[in-house]
Structure 1
Amino acid sequence: MTVATLSPLPEDKQALASRLVEGLDIPALHWLSGYFAGVAVQRLGSGRQTPGEAVAPAAEALARLTVLYGSQTGNAKRLAEELGRRATAAGLAVRVVRADAYPTRELKQERLLYVVISTQGDAEPPDDARALLEFLGSARAPKLEGLHYAVLGLGDSSYPQFCAIGRQLDERLQVLGGQRLFAAGEADVDLETVTQPWLEQALQQAREQLKTSAPLAKVTTLRTARSTPAWHRDQPFAAPLLLNQRITSRDSDRDVRHLELSLEGSGLRYAPGDALGIWPTQAPALIEAVLGTLQLDGDALVQAGGEELPLRIWLAERRELTQLTRPFFAAHAERSGDQSLREQLAPTARDALAATFSHWQLLDLLRRHPAAWQADELVAALRPLAPRLYSIASSQSVVGEEVHLTVSHVDYLLNGEARWGAASRYLAQRAEGESVPVFIEANERFHLPADNERDIIMIGPGTGVAPFRAFVQERTERGAAGRNWLLFGNPHFHADFLYQTEWQQALKSGQLHRLDLAFSRDQQDKIYVQHRLREQGRRLYEWLDGGAHLYVCGDASRMAKDVHKALIEIVTEHSGRTAEDAEAWLNQLIQQGRYARDVY
């Protein structure tokens, strides 16, 4: 389901409701919601309500907390549901709703609203919140003088516009007349530092606003959510590596690996479209370079967060070293006294700071702009190491207790010195038989359609092709009647055609119905997937207009934007819509779950 509602239904009725909504799209769920609301009103009016029946007339908005979330990778969803559980346990009436499932007509009736929303890349909203943000920014947005609200923003401070969407939403709700209960939270990838105090304050304020002193209540959910596995983000499973194979040729300038890991005995389950979380360890050479540059003793004991560990262990297992963050950049600028660094932090220098963050790692900042750091101060200033998420490249119904990944090894020279990505380096150097700490991160918005008759269009250049390998495996296993169309791109046909043999065999056997390729460097004029889209514009629009689902996976900064622009042009040309109406139509597809993106 798209709405994680905390419910008083008995367990047998929950199971019936879960089966009823399985496979329904957003419009069908909205219709069903309205139907049941009508039944409830009729029973209330006729006096037929029985003990245990839950009725939610509009008046209950006065005594209810609504928690909205916009989530791309699942963090905002998880936190919103945690807040919902805490509120229910505190005796509050609460509903937790994904942004694209929220009826905007109800906004003017809300009296207590919390929003948990992520910022993707450089100030991009999560796909499931685009329509809501567009509505709030339009002339149709209602006045909200009676609303009390608070916003929790999630982001990544390695991007200059950290938590920009949460900030924009917070300000817009105030402009519309809403009363901010407390300051917006801005959480970095080490979520708990900010989110836990925010959740506690949110719960306290909710109790005061709703004036409840009810005893603790049992929490139940109206959905067949996966039970909490024994292995998760905070307790990863040690998965033995079965295969680590390079799938680009030796003359390619890209080292892309196909990895297979064993999940045997873990009980972990995943669906095509989900991600595998990896907890990396920093490379020893990088740790020694940081220690040497700062002239620090790696064996020195450092206390932080209630733990005491050698500095070398903090840097290897607990702190981020390959990505710069704005807080650390600002702290280092202050220590160094370097005016050029301070100038990059000015609002007018956003592009310059973004360019620095895209090229430099921590070591580059430390070496080019020296400053003194003590071991404990360094550990306190560095961002905690976060897991990396990789799109799963296999269907579990086909590979069983295994999980496959497609990983590009980030490894390059900067001014003659080696630089690399933390997780990709860690994985590339794992030998078969060694274990990797992993967990499953569900990505419900990027799952296959429940209707096997639906056609699907998959756009996945580079390692963005990974989930579509899983899609085709799964659709073949299901015996799906819908057609499968893949668009793939990379620099060179002979060096970079990932899973070439598999795709060609799938095309020959009818598992793949269309394959369009874009190898950008094999001719004088560069050709990308968006060019292939335009070439096949009429066919693509016919598929979409006929009910096909569209998926895009890969680079968010350029590819996803270029593809979206091409889609607007295609819909405009072949449907007769204006560009504005074409974009609105595509946004409807996003709301319906028929246009999904997994971009990074």
Structure 2
Amino acid sequence: MRAAVGQAVLGTVLVAAVLAFATMQDFHGLHVAGVARVTAAAGSLSAWLAFVAFAIRPRRSAAASATDILVVHASQTGFATELAELTATMLRDGGKAAVARSIGELNAVPANAARLLFVVSTTGEGDAPDVASAFRREAMGVRPRLHGLRYGVLALGDRDYANFCAFGHELDRWLRDAGATPWFDLVEVDDGDDGALRHWQRQVALACGAAVPADWSRPSYGAWRLRERRLLNPGSLGGPCFHVALVPDDPASLRWDAGDIVEIGPRRARDDTGLLPHREYSIASLPEDGALHLVVRQLGVGSRWLTDVASPGDRIDLRVRRNASFHAPDDARPVLLVGNGTGIAGLRALLKARIAAGHRRNWLVYGERQSGVDRLHVDDLERWHADGDVERLDLVWSRESRGSRYVQDRLRVSAQDVKRFVDDGASVYVCGSLAGMAAGVDAALRAILGDRALEEMAASGRYRRDVY
């Protein structure tokens, strides 16, 4: 480094001397050619000084970027983010320089990246998470030369859905085709399987030369009790939906943010025929309500146990999982909320948080079947609208309308209003069914705002979805 500085300084002195001499001669002769030589000499000096600045600049950031391990996460519900941050922490604890970043911050693989770890979810029937849509289109739409890159992929999925871990596999194929070298084979995780996560820990630690850490384990479930269960849609053409209220044995557990997700732990059936499955639900209340509220449609054995078999006072194994990707904005920007069915749960919590913060620029577009019976907390919505806490309320009843039957239809009809709202800085939140609604709303927003604009909104956190 000192030698480079010495050479740079010597070169600078020589160039300065040449420039001084050329300048003296030109001013003595006062002819145009001399002025040109002065200009050329000045340009040479500027170029040399730029090189000197580059050569003697602090190398700290460049060296760090060469040794950093970048852990890139693509999350839909926050679990991939949680695991990426745990991975980065594990590496730092092992003496490695590691940092976690959202894939939404990238439009390509960083040019100086030598070691990358990807923790990516698959959403829906094989789709990339919303935050990854721009990266998937821009970066993965071409084949760069990544021959110096070593990488690993942790693919999160659920075998109950088609195209298990599809985005993780797609990313892995793209990296291989671009010449990158895998440290180890892609690791698949089915519904948070502990064994697969332990395998990932060990593979990362061994590949990166870090000490193998203690096993991760998903946070343990706490003891909660069923306080209340109430049918919300008697006489509905759809499946019965219940308002469920749960309270913890430890009052300190009443702690979450609007947008977070609750996990109901596996439990043994009353007839002891087997273990009922783990289930996730959007939270419909705030801690200030004194209970954790859910809106549960009776569909499958897990939800049937919660809505039909469990009795008031029964223990429920439960944990709250942070889902920062669906949290409400901290500021007073407008918010457009769109959903259907039991998606009212997540939207209700967001509205409660917005109202409590005094933020009233809220536009809700919500859809169900029939206005007379499918009133899943619709009384709350109408009261908030009447009080001015919800600026605009569009209720869409699919069995009673010939035009805008679904929420996506209402968005298209209101395209100019949607565009103006977004131009005012609005964020968009979508909660509800993956099949039909989520894809329809996405298509409508793309038609109104454009693909690139919506992808930029997703990458910046202004387009967020909790769909299932």
Normalised by the shorter chain, which TM-score bucket?
0.7 to 0.9
Shift of 1:94: 0.9
The aligned runs of 1:1-150 (5 Å cut-off) are 57-101=61-105, 103-104=106-107, 107-139=110-142, 142-150=144-152
Report how far residue 74 of structure 1 moved: 2.5
Give the match for residue 43 of structure 2. Answer: none
- Deviation, structure 1 residue 56: 5.2
Structure 1 residue 408 corresponds to structure 2 residue 290: no
Q: Deviations over 1:331-367 (max 9, x none)?
A: xxxxxxxxxxxxxxxxxxxxxxxxxxxxxxxxxxxxx
> Structure 2-normalised TM-score?
0.82
Deviation at residue 119 of structure 1 after TM alignment: 1.0
String of CA shifts for 1:251-309, please: whole Å, max 9, x gaps: 54421111111136242310001111111435446x6xxxxxxxxxxxxxxxxxxxxxx
Structure 1 residue 184 and structure 2 residue 186: aligned?
yes
RCO higher in 1 or 2 (8 Å CA, sep ≥ 6)?
1
Q: For residue 526 of structure 1, report the CA deviation from its aligned partner.
A: 7.3
Aligned alpha-carbon RMSD (Å) = 2.5
Please list the CA deviations of residues 520-565 of structure 1 after superposition, one character each: whole Å capped at 9, or x if unmatched.
1124567011111111111111000110010001111221111111
Encode CA deviations 1:308-336: one digit per residue, 9 max, x unaligned: xxxx4xx225xxxxxxxxxxxxxxxxxxx
Match of 1:204 among 203, 206, 220: 206
Aligned to 1:545: 423
**Structure 1 vs Structure 2: percent identity of aligned residues?**
30
CA 390–494 in structure 1, closer or farther in 2 if over 3 Å, else same: same
Structure 1 residue aligned with 2:330: 450
Is the 2:206–2:212 contact (alpha carbons within 8 Å) kept by the matching residues of 1?
Answer: no
CA contact (8 A) 2:147 2:180 kept: yes
Task: Pick one of 300, 304, 316 that aligns with 2:275.
Answer: 316
Deviations 1:2-38 (A, max 9, x none): xxxxxxxxxxxxxxxxxxxxxxxxxxxxxxxxxxxxx
* Aligned match for 1:465, one of 344, 358, 372: 344
Shift of 1:477: 1.4
* Partner Cα separation in structure 2 for residue 82 and residue 523 of structure 1: 49
Kindly tell me the number of residue pairs found equivalent between the two proteins: 412
Change (3 A) 1:247 1:235: same
Q: Deviations over 1:93-136 (max 9, x none)?
A: 111112113x4466121111111111112111112222222232
SS class of match (2:195): helix
Aligned to 1:370: none
How far, CA to CA, are the matches of 1:529 and 1:395 in structure 2?
26
TM-score, with structure 1 as normaliser:
0.65
Could you give the per-residue CA deviations for residues 66-96 of structure 1, whole angstroms, max 9, x where no partner exists? 1111112232222222221221121111111
1:45–1:249 Cα change, 3 Å? farther
Corresponding residue of 2:445:
567
What SS does structure 2 have at the residue aligned with 1:277? strand
Matched residues in 1 for 2:160 and 2:244: separation?
Answer: 27
* Alpha-carbon offset, residue 167 of structure 1: 0.7
Partner of 1:221: none
- Once residues 568 and 104 of structure 1 are traced to their aligned partners in structure 2, the CA distance between those partners, rounded to angstroms, is 20
Partner residue, 1:276: 262
**Where in structure 2 are there 5+ consecutive unaligned residues?**
1-52
Preserved contact between residue 282 and residue 422 of structure 1 (Cα < 8 Å): no
The answer to whether the 8 A contact 2:157-2:165 is kept is yes
| Larger Rg computed on CA atoms | 2
Matched letter for residue 590 of structure 1: A
Query: What's the counterpart of residue 250 of structure 1?
Result: 235
- Residue 403 of structure 1 deviates from its aligned partner by 1.1
Helix, strand or coil for the counterpart of 1:61?
helix
Q: Which residue of 2 aligns with 1:585?
A: 453
Amino acid in structure 1 at the alignment position of 2:275: A
Relative distance call for 1:166 and 1:56 in structure 2 (3 A) is: farther
| Partner Cα distance (2:95, 2:207) in 1 | 14
CA distance in 2, matches of 1:94, 1:132: 21
* Distance of 2:467 and 2:365 partners within structure 1: 16
Secondary structure of 1:259's partner? strand
Structure 1 residues 133 and 237: alpha-carbon distance in aligned structure 2, compared to 1, 3 A threshold:
same
2:265 partner letter = W
How far apart in 1 are the matches of 2:191 and 2:108? 33
Amino acid at match of 2:405: I
1:488 paired residue number: 366
Q: Is the 8 A contact 1:488 1:518 kept in 2?
A: yes
d(CA) in 2 for partners of 1:165 and 1:183?
A: 15
